[in-house]
Structure 1
Amino acid sequence: MTTVSNTTLADKNQAYWNGEAKSVFKDKWNDTATQAKLMDYACGNGIVTMSLHHLFSKCIGIDLSDGMLDKYRATAATLGLPESRMMAVQGNILAPMVQTTSPPLDDEELDCFDLVEICMALHHLDDIQLATQRLASRLHPGGVFLIIDWATRGSLDINEHASPDAVHPEHHAAHTISHDSFTGEQIVSLYDGCGDVRFVLADRLSDVPDARSGKMQLFWARATKL
């Protein structure tokens, strides 16, 4: 005699996932982060590392400021990541002579990155050509170089940065800024010799109280080291 079960697929799913809920998200689904390495240059509090750390086995945040490095370490603590996964070091890519990071890292640790990124900091560097060359040199062939910063908007009547006064001179950080914004042509030229170059503008403006109109536009640019 055949017995007809009244148990539905929904019932089976409910029973199964009630039992699996505690452990299912602890399992690693892939090993893509096994050997991947990220450099977060001028890292600040590590906003990019926060978003991408799960893709990398090691994230190294580099900054000039001890205060910012403390913020990066605090982010690591919040994420529950040990120093072996997310570490902060003091360094200057534009130093006229090779300097040892603090704490010191060997050449191997500071080379062959899968991703090097600089987010909202390129406008603080005086020689962007040299900076991008030196950052790109830290990638392995096939590695990706990502830049996120402010874009110069097309026409002068709405351009936030038509003059050096676009960021108000009385602003407490004005003296630390060397470039108010960047055109797509400027950024693409920095990637000379790289492949798969892309430059994408944000689809909306960001509120920036210290800009003349109070709004600016972000860009994302990336290229692959050949």
Structure 2
Amino acid sequence: MATDSFGDTNRHFWNKNAKSAFTQEWALALSEQLRDCLLSSIDWIDIRKSSSNETPVKIIDYACGNGLVSRTLVDFADVIRGVDVSDAMVDQYNDLRRQSGISPERMHAVCGNFLDSGHNDAIAGPDFYEADAIIMSMALHHCGDPQAMLSKMVDRLRSNGVLVMLDWADSASGHAAGASSHAHGHDIMGNSDASHTISKSSFSAGDMKQLFSGAGCNPDTVGFRPYKETSHIPESVAKVKGGVDMTFFIAKARKP
């Protein structure tokens, strides 16, 4: 039976830190940037539109955390399903969904791990297959095997479904303003309290094309866009004097 020990490490860390993860000022600012990036990129992502004579439009929000992606894109899907390795994060997701007045039929999260066949009962049903889009925000760098993760995601897309990644860009792919400090990404993450949950601190456009293609996406559909602004990571988190400025990207590709 396949297991994912890196997923177990992430589960323990985020269960412990779920309540504080999104309350710090820098994290709130980053969340606003991610929300803006998603909304301003919605036409570029090009999720299938809802039609009365077709199956409902479905988005899977993987590594969903407290549901930022889901709540941002709720108007662009009929059904959204969140998945996270952390029970505590899933609880936050569903609590915030209830507070927003959104029905569980439309939006709901469960605990699961696409890479771990031993913890897949909750994500074995049809709700977690044939998705029009699967979106993973700021979590690919927490995956022990990014290539295997993308392959598992593509397996759960419908034909022509779109896989979307948001994560930290390397210095060659990000804006010049963030490049010099981002070049130290491995050291930054290595000194972070969350360093043991991180396998790769950033990705280039070439990295993402290779990962998408290796997962079975059409390489001609790969797109990569650095966000227009840098994100400031404070000294208390980066463990670097004065903090650092980093750039995230949004990338996409389609299943044939």
TM-score tier, shorter chain, comes to 0.7 to 0.9
Amino acid at match of 2:248: L
Aligned match of 1:108: 126
The structural deviation recorded for 1:77 is 1.3
Q: Aligned to 2:224, which of 180, 199, 215?
A: 199
Q: Aligned to 2:114, which of 93, 97, 106?
A: 93
CA shift digits 1:36-80 (9 cap, x unpaired)? 011000000111111111111111100010110011112211321
Cα separation, 2, equivalents of 1:161 and 1:48: 27
Aligned match of 1:208: 233
Percent identity of equivalent pairs:
31
Amino acid at match of 2:186: P
Q: Aligned to 1:150, which of 135, 151, 168?
A: 168
Larger Rg: 1
Aligned match of 2:251: 221
The structural deviation recorded for 1:112 is 0.3
Aligned match of 1:19: none
Q: Cα–Cα, structure 1 residues 124 and 78, in superposed 2: closer, same or farther, change >3 Å?
A: same
The structural deviation recorded for 1:100 is 2.9
Q: Cα–Cα, structure 1 residues 133 and 157, in superposed 2: closer, same or farther, change >3 Å?
A: closer
Structure-to-structure mapping, 1:28-177, within 5 angstroms: 31-32=50-51, 35-95=56-116, 97=117, 99-101=119-121, 104-154=122-172, 158-162=180-184, 164-169=186-191, 171-177=192-198
More strand by share: 1
SS of residue matched to 2:168: strand
Conserved in 2, the CA contact under 8 Å of 1:32 and 1:55?
A: no
Give the TM-score normalised by structure 1. 0.78
CA shift digits 1:132-170 (9 cap, x unpaired)? 00011100011110000000112897152446312252x
Structure 1 stretches lacking a partner, 5+ long: 1-29
CA shift digits 1:161-208 (9 cap, x unpaired)? 446312252x32121111111111101111114242100011211111
Give the TM-score normalised by structure 2. 0.69
Cα separation, 1, equivalents of 2:160 and 2:102: 27
Cα separation, 2, equivalents of 1:37 and 1:161: 37
Conserved in 2, the CA contact under 8 Å of 1:161 and 1:181?
A: no
Q: Aligned to 2:199, which of 175, 178, 200?
A: 178
Structure 2 stretches lacking a partner, 5+ long: 1-48
The structural deviation recorded for 1:105 is 4.7
Q: Cα–Cα, structure 1 residues 49 and 110, in superposed 2: closer, same or farther, change >3 Å?
A: same
Segments ≥4 residues shifted beyond 6 Å: none
Conserved in 2, the CA contact under 8 Å of 1:150 and 1:216?
A: yes
